Structure formats: C-alpha cells, structure tokens
C-alpha cells in the first residue's frame, strides 16, 4: 500500500513496473534527433483523417494499440486507463478511446498530463486497485494551434520565447512486474502562478511550479540532485529551463549538470525552427516513452526524476487578463526496486 510521506509525496513500496511503453510522432518529430527511438512515425500530419481533432484521436489510437501490442495484451486485460490531451473537454482522448472498452478517466493537466496520468496509474497499481493501468496522452500541433492561437495559414510571426506544440503521443502500461523500469514514488504538484501573462512564454510560467515540486520531493525524500542520474522536465523549453536552474540555485540546489528538458530534446532547435523548444502533452510523453524509459530499461540510467509541467490557462482566461498558472507533477522512475 502506498505510503504518503508529506502533503505531496507518495512512496510506492511495491514499485509498480512499466510493462510496456510506446511513442508515436508526426513528420517534424521524425526529423528530430530522437526519431530512431520512436515506435511509429507518420509523415501524414492528418493521420488519414478529415479534421485535426480526428487526427489527434487517431494518433492516440495508434499509440494505445502499439503499447498493447508491445505488452502482448488486449484491452480486456487493462483495468483502468488515464488519458488526456490539450483539446477542449479532452476530446482527443475521449474519441481516441471510444473503441477501447476500458474504464476511462479523462485528465486535464495541460502539458503535465503524462506525469499526471503515469503517477495516478502507478498509485492505482501500487494499491492493487488495478492490476494493470494504462496512461496515455497526446498533442497535435494543428489542433492546438487552432484552439489556442491562430489558423495555420495565418501569416503571423512567432516570438523567440514561443514553443512548438509536438504532434506526438506516448503511452505506458503499469503493472506489477520484475522487469525495469519501476515507479518508486510520485509527487503531485501544486498550482504556482508568478504572474506571467505572455502565452508565448509558457516556459517562464511553468518554471516556478517545477521548482516547487522538485524542492518538495528532494526535501520529502531527503535526497539531493546527486542521488539521481537525470532530472527531466517537460516542457520548459530554453527560457523555462534556465529560469528553473536559476530558481533552484537561489534555494542552494544545483541541478545544472543533471537537468535536461524534453522540449529541448525532441527537436533540433536551430534546424527545425521551433524557437524556445517543443511543448504539448505529447512532447514530454513521447520523449519519456521513446528515449528516457529505454535508457532506464537498459540500465544506462538508474534513477530518474521525470517532471512534466503544464500551463493551465485557456484563451478565455488570457483574454480576460489573467496570468498563467503552472503545474508540475513528478514521477521517480528507477532501474531497480530497492
């Protein structure tokens, strides 16, 4: 049974295993430095569908089918699924899971949804509420742009601090297993808002939340960044990453040598015109389910903190002059149980 050691941190004594993981990407992701780690890459941004929303659902379907295939399981073997995306009312997930016939919990955590869904799935498995749980998220550049920003063909310029929403999906199946990777602990983040109002600088809006969650976890577990091989945030981008390092330095925590950001890993920022880096639920999800979990599984990394961050605003709240609340959930993933 899970052990709650603070307001935010929950230790999972059974160390639920990640039985299988899968990642699906679009064309731009296929041109990026992590392309070879993806399970599926699709050059057709529409995924054979007539609307961008349908394309995103198809992307999720491809990802959930792939993870089931990799685990050698059928939907009936999964007790519960946690899924979310960036679209209003989480339709990417709801429509993408229509044919799954698995008890479904829809989540909205903006770009933090991968860590949020993985954390919840792990807690469910650790407490034997589910034998196997599926965590799944996605984002699609085109469906996100039309909801949050401008039509695709509109001739606007992006600012240097803007981030690029990934067309990607990631999914994991969590269950009791003897094979790495294992989820050792989770830390649920708190909403932090430091008054950033620029929607083209979401990294800056989310960095304080990431800082707060990292501090909480390190304090609760009495550990330092040196106890981990890497701390991966997603998706703070260039601006948010440098702010996070600076914020933690003020608290005498140095993560500069242990930190990387999924938004900086998914694309070649110079060549692929993504400005401050990638973003979207699919960004951290696909980096986790392609590169990071593989490196933990093969033992290259033993202990990793995966920390997905979300900017919890809407176009309406921004138009009303509200600032952007940030969130960051943390999952401690390890190569060993003990």
Partner 1 sequence: MNLTTKDYEEMNKKASPNTKSYMTIPCAFIIGGIICTIGQALVNLYMYCGMQQEQASTVASVSLVFLSALLTGLKIYDNIAKVGGAGTLVPITGFANAVVAPALEFKSEGLILGLGAKMFIIAGPVIVYGVTASAIYGVILCLFNLV
Residues of the shown chain interacting with partner 1 in the complex, contacts defined by CB under 8 A:
50-52, 146, 150-157, 159-161, 192, 194-196, 201, 204, 208, 211-212, 215, 238-239, 242-243, 246-247, 250-251
Min CB(328)–partner 1 separation in Å: 13
Min CB(276)–partner 1 separation in Å: 8
The whole-angstrom separation of Cα 332 and Cα 213 is: 12
CB 39 within 8 A of CB 197: no
Min CB(240)–partner 1 separation in Å: 8
Surface-to-core class of residue 270, CB atoms within 10 Å of its CB (0-12 exposed, 13-18 middle, 19+ buried): exposed
CB 170 within 8 A of CB 285: yes
CB-nearer residue toward partner 1: 18 or 211: 211
Min CB(251)–partner 1 separation in Å: 7
CB-nearer residue toward partner 1: 161 or 284: 161
- Quick one: which of 285, 72, 296, 289 has its CA closest to 181? 296
Q: Which two tokens stand for residue 258?
A: 């242990």
Residue showing tokens 């399970």: 39
Angle, helices 202-221/237-250, rounded to nearest 10 degrees: 40
CB-nearer residue toward partner 1: 64 or 167: 167
Q: Which two tokens stand for residue 192?
A: 């932090």
CB-nearer residue toward partner 1: 162 or 308: 162
Min CB(54)–partner 1 separation in Å: 9
CB-nearer residue toward partner 1: 50 or 179: 50
């Amino acid at each position: 049974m899970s052990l709650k050691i603070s307001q935010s941190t929950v230790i999972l004594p059974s160390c639920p295993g990640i039985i299988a993981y899968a990642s699906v990407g679009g064309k731009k992701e296929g041109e990026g430095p992590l392309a070879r780690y993806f399970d599926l890459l699709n050059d057709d941004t529409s995924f054979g569908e007539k609307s961008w929303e349908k394309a995103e659902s198809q992307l999720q379907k491809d990802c959930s089918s792939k993870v089931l295939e990799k685990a050698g399981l059928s939907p009936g073997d999964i007790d519960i699924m946690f899924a979310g995306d960036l679209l209003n009312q989480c339709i990417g997930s709801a429509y993408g899971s229509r044919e799954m016939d698995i008890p479904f919990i829809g989540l909205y955590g903006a770009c933090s949804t991968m860590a949020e869904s993985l954390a919840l799935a792990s807690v469910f498995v650790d407490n034997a509420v589910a034998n196997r749980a599926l965590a799944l998220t996605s984002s699609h550049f085109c469906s996100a742009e039309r909801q949050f920003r401008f039509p695709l063909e509109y001739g606007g310029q992006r600012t240097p601090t803007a981030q690029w929403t990934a067309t990607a999906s990631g999914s994991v199946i969590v269950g009791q297993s003897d094979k790495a990777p294992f989820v050792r602990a989770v830390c649920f983040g708190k909403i932090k808002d430091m008054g950033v109002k620029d929607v083209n600088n979401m990294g800056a809006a989310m960095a304080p939340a990431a800082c707060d969650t990292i501090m909480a976890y390190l304090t609760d577990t009495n550990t330092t960044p040196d106890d981990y091989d890497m701390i991966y945030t997603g998706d703070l981008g260039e601006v948010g990453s440098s702010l996070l390092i600076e914020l933690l330095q003020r608290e005498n925590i140095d993560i500069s040598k242990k930190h990387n950001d999924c938004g900086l890993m998914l694309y070649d920022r110079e060549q692929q015109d993504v400005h401050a880096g990638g973003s979207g639920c699919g960004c951290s999800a696909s980096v986790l389910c392609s590169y990071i979990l593989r490196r933990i599984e093969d033992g290259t990394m033993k202990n990793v903190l995966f920390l997905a961050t979300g900017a919890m605003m809407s176009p309406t709240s921004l138009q009303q002059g509200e600032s952007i609340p940030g969130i960051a959930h943390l999952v401690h993933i390890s190569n060993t149980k003990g």
